[in-house]
Amino acid sequence: MSSIMTNTSALTALQSLNATNKSLEATQSRISTGYRVADASDNAAYWSIATTMRSDNQALSTVSDALGLGASKVDTAYTGMNKAIDTVNAIKVKLVAANGASAADKEKIDIEIKALQGQMKSYADSATFSGANWLSVDTTTGHTAAGTFDDVKIVSSFNRNAAGTVSLGTIDIKVQDIKLYDAFATATGLNDGILDATRLGTTGARQAAASAAVAGTDAATDTYTVSTLSVKGFSDAQITKQLGVVEAALKEMTTAATNLGASKTRIDGQKTFTSSLMDSIDRGVGQLVDADMNKESTRLQALQVQQQLGIQALSIANSSTQTILSLFRG
């Protein structure tokens, strides 16, 4: 049936053209944005996952920055510790030279030891990065217990469990075990720094209370401190005990340097892992929402052809009503 009121062919052609135009708009949007899923309306599930993972990746970027800052602090403390160890070794050599030396020579050696002690303190005071110094500290205030330095926590990971709950992982640095000096006025040898701790001359062990050694008079209860010990006027027996005290401090410093080195290695490894994890998340998100440009390019060309054919079909359908006029011509 031919009708001038309802052109069924034109309606069909128009619907087909509208569908083609809609597909063409979607394809052009994917090409211009680079995303197959740019909005929640494109695919709500994929968009939600991608948005969450992008947010987590931003958090991981901050974690990477925190690890870099932490690594710098650890490296600074490690450098200062190594220089301090070298200086304590130099003091040890001077003590060996002072054993059996004349009084005049001991005075000269004492001057050298005092210079080394000053250098040692300078190294500790200078080991500062971004306002953090773990070698020369003051635990008077700002810590859970006066005289004890709270562990330093370096953010090392951002975690999200299956329930969606987030948490942070940390690498803890036990500054209390590596500090060389502590300005806490009432601290004892048990919680002082390694170099300003009071130590028993006979064993080198830390002591809660000091028993000042008198030059030239050896006593079993005598205590010494690496940062202040002196050979001027002291007997060979006392100098031998000072050697034991220095050796005990060196052992603690070596352990501290080892811990710092292990922490640095762990931080570097975690930073490498975090970087790889961020790349992995980027790839995963890309597989969910990125557009395949080769595929979209091919689809665009096909849709453009379909659009042209649809316009032609609609034109033909609209012109078909013109043939009805011929039925009424004489």
Model pLDDT for residues 97-111, shown as the tens digit of each residue: 999 999 999 999 999
For residue 93, the model assigns a pLDDT of 97
Q: Residue 156: is it exposed, middle or buried by C-beta count within 10 angstroms (0-12/13-18/19+)? A: buried
- Radius of gyration from C-alpha coordinates of the chain: 39
For residue 205, the model assigns a pLDDT of 95
Give the pLDDT confidence of 202-212 residue by residue, as tens digits.
999 999 988 98
Q: Is the pLDDT of residue 330 over 60?
A: no
Q: Is the pLDDT of residue 328 over 80?
A: no
For residue 6, the model assigns a pLDDT of 66
- Over the chain, what is the mean pLDDT? 90
DSSP 61-116: HHHHHHHHHHHHHHHHHHHHHHHHHHHHHHHHHHHHHHTT--HHHHHHHHHHHHHH
Q: Is the pLDDT of residue 289 over 90?
A: no
Please state whether the predicted TM-score (pTM) of the whole model is above 0.85.
no
Euclidean distance between CA atoms 34 and 29, whole angstroms: 8
Give the pLDDT confidence of 52-70 residue by residue, as tens digits.
999 999 999 999 999 999 9
Euclidean distance between CA atoms 83 and 157, whole angstroms: 32
For residue 154, the model assigns a pLDDT of 94
Confidence at 233, pLDDT banded by 50, 70, 90: very high
CA-to-CA separations, 168 to 23, 67, 153, 161, in angstroms, rounded: 44, 13, 11, 11
Q: Is the pLDDT of residue 327 over 80?
A: no
Confidence at 25, pLDDT banded by 50, 70, 90: confident
Confidence at 8, pLDDT banded by 50, 70, 90: confident
For residue 290, the model assigns a pLDDT of 82
Give the pLDDT confidence of 268-280 residue by residue, as tens digits.
999 999 999 999 9
Give yes or no for a contact between 156 and 69, defined as CB atoms under 8 angstroms apart.
Answer: no
Give the pLDDT confidence of 99-153 residue by residue, as tens digits.
999 999 999 999 999 999 999 999 999 999 999 999 999 998 888 888 899 999 9
For residue 14, the model assigns a pLDDT of 83
CA neighbor of 200 nearest in space, from 160, 166, 238, 251: 238
For residue 1, the model assigns a pLDDT of 58
Q: Is the pLDDT of residue 225 over 90?
A: yes
Euclidean distance between CA atoms 211 and 220, whole angstroms: 10
Q: Is the pLDDT of residue 43 over 90?
A: no
Euclidean distance between CA atoms 229 and 91, whole angstroms: 10
Confidence at 232, pLDDT banded by 50, 70, 90: very high
User: Among the listed ranges 70-74, 196-200, 299-303, which one has the minimum average pLDDT value?
Assistant: 299-303
Alpha-carbon torsion angle 224, 229, 233, 239, nearest 10: 60
